[in-house]
């Protein structure tokens, strides 16, 4: 115990046991404090806890700005669609949706493509 304290002088050290429950409350308070120290998060905010999700969100953001820029300078619809599709796919990596199938359902629900 003392050795741990000596090796990590800048960190709080809390002895606890998940068997007896000793010190667990202190651990909870400490984690909450660390978390709150990252900024004034309210419960309204979305918290990203998974680095894969973070990557997907960043990817979606990039693609949406590509589509937005394209729209502003009058690029044809199919190049915008490509970026938007990738954005939805990135989001779908988090939600588990099947973009292609949903898109096709949407198309079929609205009109007949014909053979």
Partner 1 sequence: MKTENTTDCLNIYREENYDIAVIGAGHAGCEAALAAARLGMKTVVFTMNMDSVANMPCNPNIGGTAKGQLVREIDALGGEMGKAADATYIQSRMLNTSKGPAVLSPRAQIDRRAYQQYMKHALERQPGLHLRQAEIVDILCDEYPGITRKVRGVMSRNGALYECKAVIVTTGTYMESRIIIGETSYSGGPDGLFPSVGLSENLRKLGVGLLRFKTGTPVRINMKEIDIAGLEEQTADEYPCLFSFENEDDESFIGKEQKSCWVTWTTEETRRIIMDNIHRSPLFSGDIDGVGPRYCPSIEDKFVKFPQHGRHQIFIEPTGDTTEEMYVQGMSSSMPEDVQVRMLRTVPGLEKCRIMRSAYAIEYDCIVPTELKLTLEHKKVEGLFFAGQINGSSGYEEAAGQGLIAGINAVHTQLGRDPLILDRSQAYIGVLIDDLVTKGTPEPYRMMTSRAEYRLVLRQDNADERLTETGYKIGLISEERYGIYLDKAEKINEEVERLRKTVLKPDTKLNGLLQELGSTPVSSGTTLAALIKRPEISYSSLAAVDPLRKPLPRSVCFEAEVRIKYEGYIALENDRIEKFIRLEHKPIPENIDYDDLSGLRIEARQKLQKMRPLSVGQASRISGVSPADISVLLVYLEAQRKQGNR
Residues that bind partner 1 (CB under 8 A): 52, 66, 70, 73-79, 82-83, 85-86, 89, 93-94, 96, 98, 100, 103-104, 107-108, 111-115
Nearest to 54, CA basis, from 90, 5, 17: 90
Burial (0-12, 13-18, 19+ Cβ within 10 Å), 80: middle
Helices (H) and strands (E) counted in the chain, each on its own, are: 5, 0
Report the residue number, 9 or 114, with the smaller CB distance to partner 1: 114
Tokens matching residue 68: 């937005």
Q: How far is the CB of 48 from partner 1 (least distance, A)?
A: 15
Q: How far is the CB of 112 from partner 1 (least distance, A)?
A: 6
Q: How far is the CB of 49 from partner 1 (least distance, A)?
A: 13
């Amino acid at each position: 115990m003392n050795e741990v304290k000596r090796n990590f002088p800048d960190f709080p050290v809390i002895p606890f046991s998940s068997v007896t429950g000793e010190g667990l409350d202190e651990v909870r308070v400490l984690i909450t404090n660390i978390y709150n120290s990252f900024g004034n998060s309210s419960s309204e905010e979305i918290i990203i806890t998974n680095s894969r999700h973070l990557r997907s969100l960043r990817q979606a953001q990039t693609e949406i700005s590509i589509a937005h820029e394209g729209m502003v300078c009058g690029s044809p619809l199919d190049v915008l669609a490509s970026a938007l599709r990738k954005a939805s796919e990135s989001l779908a990596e988090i939600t588990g949706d099947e973009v292609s199938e949903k898109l096709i359902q949407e198309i079929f629900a609205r009109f007949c493509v014909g053979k």
